[in-house]
Structure 1
Amino acid sequence: MKTKYLPLALCMMIGGQAMAAVSEEEARQLGNNLTLWGAEQAGNADGTIPAYTGGIQPPSSYDPGRPGIRPDPFADEQALFTIDASNYKEHQERLTSGALALFEKYPDFKINVYPTHRTARYPEHYLANAKKNATSCTLIEDGLQLKGCWAGTPFPIPQNGSEVMWNRYMKYEGHAFMSQDLKTTIVDGSGTVIDTAGQTQWNQYPLWDPSRTDLLKGDEINEILRADYDSPARKSGEKLVIHDSLNMLTNARRAWSYLPGQRRVKLSPDVAYDTPSPAGAGIGTVDDSSVFYGAFDRYDFELVGKREVYIPYNMFKMYDAEQCGREQVFTKNFANPDCVRWELHRVWVVEATLKSGKRHIYPRRTLYWDEDFLGVGMSSAYDNTGSVYRVVHSESFPKYESYGHISGQFITHDLASGAYARQAYSTGRSGWHDIEPKPMNFFTPQAMSGGGVR
């Protein structure tokens, strides 16, 4: 499972010392046999993963006047084959541990495998900074802070698990985007479908301002999120703001919530780690969001290597109301397999093991991150017996109106209860779309209380 691009000797951090960046010679791979963000340019040996040729272009049916509505460019494709209970063991070398657990738990689970499309695209300023980062960006303070880094992929040639996790943390989805029609829906173990949240949400990444030309500072904000809830009735009027910083040592996350019944904003330090997901009715933890969401201080991350595995990808069909509307998608125990597109991709495999003296309900997790879209992937979270407890995968698709992708939509499967939660997904009325960045005061506690009347 070791990738040929891993150095022979990994430079590990000791105490607060920095890990070394790669050499100039190693960095010359970028733009040659590696893309500038670090993926392998070539296809695989049997041709089932194609070479990277520049990413997706909008189909002729795309209407730029409706940027959040993305027609499926692969709608005419048929599945190459289906993996089900009768043959999944024949494919286990290309299945994640979580996918294997789903097959073992649910006899009717299946995976439809489609042709692989490498749809990733990134802006020039991001790519130029990624190339500079290869020889300048390092981790300090036990991997919880950055030093000497530019606004691009921090570690295009990762040498260890922490660097892969930072690549995911600084995934590129764009400068600012929003959706007015998000939902979270759970399906309990009996198959009952329940909507638990509806919201308008804004995501903003100050780092990705294309006019930026300076080095990143050690404590600036990486991501800002604001969610204004409008359903169900008991949740209508609530608001949530989250600030995530580049400094995970002393300023990992600040979160505030507004509760209309109390007419006040309160600091919410529990919107992190293994707090049960509030919108997901406890099906999964807060840091299950988007496969992994939050600081890295509770786990040690080991880079196992790179594998070719099937993961959900290019999920346009999931948002086609004619084929995969609400009645079709929400089947018992897992989303309708005929609505979920799986493709073969190369992924970085990272084992997360709970640090001594730290607590989390998951003592171990296996994380799989796509080499092209760094925020796309799957995770398997284990219980204290070593069995897979929960499986999370992203619902990703590339943007047409700009660069990057949307990967914040996700599904969490709870194998203990047979329930699953599909969170922060667009219902397809407006979709996720790019916007002009909001002023920073839009993401403050004062702004929440100012408009927070039910």
Structure 2
Amino acid sequence: MIRTIRFVPTVLALAFAGQAFAAVSADDAKQLGGATLTSFGAEKAASKDGSIPEYDGKGIAPPADWDPKQPGRRPDPFHEKPLFSINAQNWQTYADKLTELQKEMFKKYPDYRMDVYPSHRTMVFPKYVIDNTLKNATSCKAVDNELRLDGCYAGIPFPLPKTGKEVMWNHLLFYGTPTNAENQRTWHVPPNGSAYLASASHGFEAFPIYDPKRTTPLDGKDVYWRVRLDDYAPARANGQKLILVNAVDQVNIGQRAYQYLPGQRRVKLAPDLAYDTPSPTNGGVGTVDDAKLFLGAMDRFDFKLIGKSEKFLAYNTYGATDYKTCPEDKLVSTKHFPNPDCIRWELHRVWVVDSTLKPQFRHIYHRRTFYFDEDGYGAGIQEAYDASGKLYRGAFNTFYTYWEKDGGNDGSVVNLDLITGEYVMQGTAGAPGAGFWPVEPKPDVFYSPEALAGEGIN
């Protein structure tokens, strides 16, 4: 049962298909940065029992053993012990704080465990993002069945969300940092536990709308997220390249994908790399739109805002990035789920959105439920149900915040298949040189099909 927190009446209004939603009133917007809400719309106060702390906006300092020459390795800055552990014997004690996915994991796997640590609200935004978020409160609108943004600036689009799609837009435009470099490795663990490297790539991930010099509203042609991945392992994939580009206009532009395949020696537009197409980077355990928990167009589902709740999220999971304490061979050494010793769980307030497949569309998922952190929308959990209503798959990410800059990273995405018992951990950082770290932006041409063609292996 989800316990809804009723602190802003306008927040819990329901969406109606086809309606264009106006920004909130000036009076509602005054709540932002006031006594009860942060400038980006989260509750300032601690939870009633104090397990979720008050937001102080201080972020986090790098630990003494962090080496900037190995920026992807992020040692644990807290050095805390778990407050308690949740397992198959005691999970019902914490049932109101568990998602349906977590409950099912305890029911299905007697050895599943969640170590719960003190909660830290470490997400911090740069001033220009906060300023733009305050503008968005009264100017940003979702139009064309909420599939296109209008009058929005480079910040959280809807700091006081009223509909499910507004929360989803907040997730899609999650502020991490303008550009990340990444050396990401994806491990596929079959039901027998024999993990293998499914893919490994060097890449760059960018949120070009978050150029701090920009002062104008977003245009429909603007790209809110793009990534380029150059594969180097396994050997059969060496030389493959992929670009994904997503625009703020999902009606007329949407997502574009380009692939370079060495065997064909050409770049091709890949329109099929969308929706429920099996992801080419995670061994087929997840779909393309499972990336980052949800990525791409929202036109195939109806999204309903349920409200807010308190749930355990994989948060501040620095240990999963540190090959000295949790190398990859340890991280994926367990069957059915990543090694619980490497995953840090914290209690956070989340937005809850439920979605159902529209009757005129097809998708392997017929219903999905999302839980997104109120402080940044980057951390979260997804639950996916099949046509019979059975919980089929789930996903969570191992979120952590940066200390060298404001923002954070959604970290590894863990895709769990509850039918087959296999899982994939995409974007692991438990090896020397692996991980994610902020860098200066690349020129636009770097993310173009022409660049892939020019750099292809001949």
TM-score normalised to the size of structure 1?
Answer: 0.96
Instruction: Check if 1:41 corresponds to 2:40.
Output: no
* Displacement after TM superposition at 1:67 (Å): 3.3
Rounded to whole Å, the distance in 1 between the matches of 2:375 and 2:134 is: 15
Q: Are the aligned partners of 2:322 and 2:430 in contact in 1 as well (CA < 8 Å)?
A: no
SS in 1 for 2:9: coil
Rounded to whole Å, the distance in 2 between the matches of 1:410 and 1:89 is: 26
Instruction: Check if 1:449 corresponds to 2:453.
Output: yes
Q: Deviations over 1:102-127 (max 9, x none)?
A: 11111111111100011101100000
Rounded to whole Å, the distance in 1 between the matches of 2:82 and 2:222 is: 44
- 1:22 pairs, out of 21, 24, 34, with 24
Rounded to whole Å, the distance in 1 between the matches of 2:17 and 2:232 is: 48
* Displacement after TM superposition at 1:435 (Å): 1.6
In the alignment, what sits opposite 1:118? 121
SS in 2 for 1:338: helix
SS in 1 for 2:232: strand
Distance 1:174 1:65, change over 3 A: same
Rounded to whole Å, the distance in 2 between the matches of 1:299 and 1:83 is: 33
In the alignment, what sits opposite 2:100? 97
SS in 2 for 1:164: helix
In the alignment, what sits opposite 1:348? 351
Q: Deviations over 1:244-271 (max 9, x none)?
A: 0000012111101000011011111111
- 1:163 pairs, out of 163, 166, 173, with 166
Amino acid at match of 2:204: W
Distance 1:11 1:287, change over 3 A: closer
* Displacement after TM superposition at 1:316 (Å): 0.6
Rounded to whole Å, the distance in 2 between the matches of 1:178 and 1:48 is: 34
Amino acid at match of 2:402: K
* Displacement after TM superposition at 1:311 (Å): 1.1
Instruction: Check if 1:383 corresponds to 2:380.
Output: no
Q: Are the aligned partners of 2:74 and 2:322 in contact in 1 as well (CA < 8 Å)?
A: no
Instruction: Check if 1:327 corresponds to 2:321.
Output: no
Instruction: Check if 1:69 corresponds to 2:73.
Output: yes
In the alignment, what sits opposite 1:271? 273
Distance 1:149 1:167, change over 3 A: same
SS in 2 for 1:219: coil
Percent of pairs with identical residues: 44
- 1:402 pairs, out of 377, 400, 405, with 405
In the alignment, what sits opposite 2:205? 203
- 1:254 pairs, out of 240, 250, 256, with 256
SS in 2 for 1:89: helix
SS in 2 for 1:166: helix
SS in 2 for 1:289: helix
* Displacement after TM superposition at 1:69 (Å): 2.9
Instruction: Check if 1:58 corresponds to 2:59.
Output: no
Rounded to whole Å, the distance in 2 between the matches of 1:218 and 1:5 is: 33
Distance 1:377 1:14, change over 3 A: closer
Q: Deviations over 1:354-404 (max 9, x none)?
A: 112011110001100001121210011011221111110011111111111
Q: Are the aligned partners of 1:265 and 1:449 in contact in 2 as well (CA < 8 Å)?
A: yes
In the alignment, what sits opposite 2:184? 182
Rounded to whole Å, the distance in 1 between the matches of 2:380 and 2:4 is: 19
SS in 1 for 2:193: coil
Q: Are the aligned partners of 2:327 and 2:431 in contact in 1 as well (CA < 8 Å)?
A: no
Gaps of 5+ in 1: none
* Displacement after TM superposition at 1:23 (Å): 1.3
* Displacement after TM superposition at 1:65 (Å): 4.5
* Displacement after TM superposition at 1:408 (Å): 4.8
In the alignment, what sits opposite 2:299? 297
Amino acid at match of 1:98: L
Rounded to whole Å, the distance in 2 between the matches of 1:279 and 1:213 is: 36
- 1:358 pairs, out of 333, 356, 361, with 361
Amino acid at match of 1:424: G
- 1:2 pairs, out of 1, 4, 28, with 4
Gaps of 5+ in 2: none
Q: Deviations over 1:208-236 (max 9, x none)?
A: 00011111112211111100000101100
Q: Are the aligned partners of 2:239 and 2:261 in contact in 1 as well (CA < 8 Å)?
A: yes
In the alignment, what sits opposite 2:225? 223
Rounded to whole Å, the distance in 1 between the matches of 2:7 and 2:300 is: 27
Q: Deviations over 1:132-182 (max 9, x none)?
A: 111111110001001111110000010111100000010001111112x31
> Number of residues paired by the alignment?
451
- Segment of structure 1 superposing worse, 137-146 or 55-64: 55-64
Rounded to whole Å, the distance in 2 between the matches of 1:305 and 1:13 is: 16
Amino acid at match of 1:450: G
Amino acid at match of 1:221: V
Rounded to whole Å, the distance in 1 between the matches of 2:209 and 2:219 is: 10
TM-score normalised to the size of structure 2?
Answer: 0.96
